[in-house]
Structure 1
Amino acid sequence: MGEITEEIVPLPQVFYEQPTLELAKALLGCLLVKETSVGMAAGYIVETEAYIGPGDRAAHSYNNRRTTRTEVMFQRSGLTYTYLMHTHCLFNVVSGGKENPEAVLIRALEPRYGIEIMKNRRGLEDLRSLTNGPGKLTKSLGITMEDYGHTLTHPPLYIAKGLSPDSISAGKRIGIDKSEEARDYPWRFWVTNNKYVSRHQKSIYVY
């Protein structure tokens, strides 16, 4: 990755209005930031997954499934979609535009700011293990279900410009084996050879 060229400023609304697959790649290298009473914690996004409902069987919004949980996916792009998976809170960026329920799951970060805060929250010293998974990164940054619906263009939870990946790999998404043909879509993207990626697999495409 290259060097930071700008101060930490939330990305504008227009950034989130690009097509979901493009957004999932564009988010790589961006800085995900959460400000709390104990300070700021942030990390570079190194892994994402795109979910393109209603035609994507792996998406919560498949077949236009509109529930209390998925309601925010039907709103404008650039909002926060958090949901619980077992005991873990997972963080997604709403995309696709109003009434077009799509989202990008953030799967892993490379820790950058507030590392001691992250270590205290996780009870860990191993830097790699702090944020190399979707449930790990939310706990490390302090992202919770209370962030559901938050607009990502302003604090306390936002995404800023970060570093540009030298190479992006793409492959199958993880943990969706029962989603029929959707399990084979190459809609998982990661920074090639980054050690903070949650799971390494053979890439189908390299950008």
Structure 2
Amino acid sequence: MAYQDFFTHRPTQEIAQDLLGRPLIYESPAGLVGGWIVETEAYLGQADNAAHAYQGHRSAANEALYGPPGTIYIYERRGLFMCDIAVQDAEVPQGVLLRGIQPIWGIDVMTENRDGRSLGELTNGPGKLFRAFGVRDKALNLQSLANAPLTILLADQWQSRPRQIGSSARVGVRSGGWHDRPYRFFVSGNQWVSKTPKRSWQDDQGWQDTAPTKLPTDILPGK
């Protein structure tokens, strides 16, 4: 499926939910890392008081949000790098924040990048996720998922299917008229969803069924 088709022609909230279970993979300098996306947040551009493009704000820092669908937007908070994906058509600055993955590929590399943290702590939050990937700068910013070393596999055969998709207010959005809108989406029962109690975890991590984990080389980033 083309990124143009996947990331346009439907609401950003729907796209954010459809990303759950899809593989996010990165051909890092230390080797391939990645996993199934388990948590996302939708940001709806100029009208959304929590969005970086609120009221039409535009600068060199957030220019990626105004790019074509599938453009990577990297930004830094408190020394950690996080990643949004621009959705909708160019000049419509809506995005989806990638908040967490279930680690599948390159767990040894991600563990080293996270200074030996336990498996459950590797990727359960947006800053943790991209530190686990080894992202320490904005080199990926403004690149496209279509040809960057970071990509999301969109073909349905690679998507693990959540049994139930949960939703809540977005994390850290505490004020403004949109602070309580349920634009955070997650795989219910998955332990790599951030800020969830251990009692909510499920043995099957909330999957109805899971996709293959062996990836053909011709669909890897940059191949």
TM above 0.5: yes
1:23 maps to a residue whose letter is I
CA-based RMSD of the aligned residues comes to 1.4
Aligned to 1:152: 145
Q: Give the distance between the partners of 1:79 and 1:57, measured in 2 at CA.
A: 22
Matches within 5 A, 1:167-182: 167-178=164-175, 180-182=176-178
Q: Is the 8 A contact 2:74 2:140 kept in 1?
A: yes
Deviation at 1:155, TM superposition (A): 4.1
SS class of match (1:42):
strand
Aligned to 1:165: 162
Q: Give the distance between the partners of 2:58 and 2:33, measured in 1 at CA.
A: 33
Provide TM-score, normalisation by structure 2.
Answer: 0.82
Aligned to 2:218: none
Which one scores higher on RCO, CA 8 angstroms, separation ≥ 6?
1
Residue 38 (1) aligns with residue 33 (2): no
Q: Give the distance between the partners of 1:59 and 1:36, measured in 2 at CA.
A: 28
**More moved, 106-115 vs 119-128:** 119-128
Q: 2:186 aligns with which of 182, 187, 190?
A: 190
Aligned to 2:65: 73
Aligned to 1:15: 6
SS class of match (2:99):
strand
Matches within 5 A, 1:56-205: 56-143=48-135, 144-160=137-153, 161-178=158-175, 180-200=176-196
Deviation at 1:70, TM superposition (A): 1.3
Aligned to 1:25: 17
Deviation at 1:79, TM superposition (A): 0.7
Q: Give the paired residue count.
A: 190
Question: Is the alpha carbon distance of 1:163 and 1:154 closer, same or farther for their aligned partners in structure 2, counting shifts above 3 Å?
Answer: farther
Structure 2: state its 5+ residue gaps: 198-223
Aligned to 1:7: none
Q: Is the 8 A contact 1:48 1:107 kept in 2?
A: yes
1:166 maps to a residue whose letter is R
Provide TM-score, normalisation by structure 1.
Answer: 0.88
1:159 maps to a residue whose letter is I
Q: Is the 8 A contact 2:47 2:55 kept in 1?
A: yes
Deviation at 1:141, TM superposition (A): 1.3
SS class of match (2:39):
strand
Q: Is the 8 A contact 1:19 1:95 kept in 2?
A: no
C-alpha offsets along residues 17-67 of structure 1, whole Å, 9 cap, x if unaligned? 243111100110011100023210011110000000100000000001011
Structure 1: state its 5+ residue gaps: 1-10, 202-207
Q: Is the 8 A contact 2:67 2:142 kept in 1?
A: no
Percent identity reads: 35
* Misfit runs of 4+, over 3 Å: none
Q: Is the 8 A contact 1:33 1:141 kept in 2?
A: no
**More moved, 13-22 vs 66-75:** 13-22
2:143 maps to a residue whose letter is H
